[in-house]
Structure 1
């Protein structure tokens, strides 16, 4: 079976077109596959390469409506090319998931056990991470928003990090990129309210088993690592009609069931 069974037609994503950035591995791949199995048409956007090609081929072989979309979120030209592809191929975009990012290992490979003070971070290392994790969210959302405004609807979901991480020793520039992305999301939500476009935030709720944590350092983490699949249920909800009208929410995947009860979205 290629499509996930669901007794709730509101979470059937048939006819919904979604772009997920950073989707060739980790959380992005888990979300993309979950959305596909809920019936959505999904473009896995990532830097071009064998990793992206292999995942798209695997998903397509399962009968899922997956596309590969080469994208460098740091490049305005690359973003513009992706927007043009979506307009030409689909003619619309219902949901954008901003997820592409790089981790602390790009500036300090031993960040888990030997935290590096901010004044030892190289300017190039700082810029590279901020350009990807923060400016990338801005550029991609900026690129696709006019299409959503023109069509009169759309949903943007920005993937966040724990607030504790934004204050953790040795987490420059990863922490500031997360704080910036959160502020960006709240302001985007307010800017887009008049257009009927929603902006929400989603985060796992703990350290997650992805490539951002080097294999030799994973054993240093005391609590069990979350699996990327923790994001699947909430991302399907946020992409579905059940989240219509909900905006400026910051949702933790681990606490998603509690959030739904509090927000009164449970039937």
Structure 2
């Protein structure tokens, strides 16, 4: 069994927690990063770090902590994110108009959803390239959510992370380091969807659906797979990883749209 050192941000709850635990169960060494420290106990496979990713020193702190705990970092999963619920808990039924968003909310959402991810990628990519193997997995959102009414600045911040993922895949081509996107595939059962009645939450994408695809993406089975986006709710758990990836995957970002083409079918 291969063992990699993986950083997972936003790992105290929801999608990040599900992915961090799945990676530990798969035999990897995981550093779980969140503003609130994940509750799981430290072990020879798991460490947690409480840090505000918007702070200037956060990236250096995360990298130094991870390398002290487990050595060079092989994979980075950028899951930390905040959304419209931080502006208005009623954003689902009462969309937030872009002109009502103040600078503080705009800047914090971009700082967590985009800037922190970029800084971590920038800090870790050179080491991965030097070692000839690495994984960057960014959690964005459904393409339609990026453009939905009332979803600024969350939608634009995730669209920017999607574009960054595509650029990184091209920059990293031939290095052994890959850049991919993993999304739930629809509204997820997390704190970012407040106000949904308990009886209806079962219809949301459950965080556990992220487990199988993230384990495959961090493994050597995904060697050569880059510049792709995967929908967790379309990933058939009863299929081998390579086959499931074919079913649940599509090109990252807006491949095929430049020049006027509109081939966007199946890329939620």
What's the TM-score bracket when you normalise by the shorter of the two chains? 0.7 to 0.9
Name the counterpart of 1:91: 71
Name the counterpart of 1:253: 232
2:40 matched to 1:56? yes
Name the counterpart of 1:227: 206
Is the contact made by 1:234 and 1:253 (CA closer than 8 Å) also made in structure 2?
yes
Is the contact made by 1:98 and 1:159 (CA closer than 8 Å) also made in structure 2?
yes
Name the counterpart of 1:81: 61
Name the counterpart of 1:9: none
Partners of 2:31 and 2:145 lie apart in 1 by: 30
Name the counterpart of 2:102: 122
2:82 matched to 1:102? yes
2:226 matched to 1:242? no
Question: As a proportion of its length, which structure holds more helix?
Answer: 1
Residue 122 to residue 92, structure 1, CA distance change in 2 (3 Å): same
Structure scoring higher RCO (CA < 8 A, sep ≥ 6) equals 1
Name the counterpart of 1:8: none
Q: Any gaps of 5 or more consecutive residues in structure 2? A: 248-268
Secondary structure, aligned partner of 2:117:
helix
Pairwise CA distance, 1:72: 2.5
Is the contact made by 2:5 and 2:71 (CA closer than 8 Å) also made in structure 1?
no
Give per-residue Cα distances to partners, 1:110-132, cap 9 Å, x unaligned: 10111121111112111110111
Residue 71 to residue 195, structure 1, CA distance change in 2 (3 Å): farther
Name the counterpart of 2:130: 150
Pairwise CA distance, 1:147: 2.1
Q: After TM superposition, where is structure 1 displaced by more than 3 Å over at least 4 residues in a row? A: 217-223, 257-265
Name the counterpart of 1:42: 30
Aligned length: 244
Pairwise CA distance, 1:193: 1.5
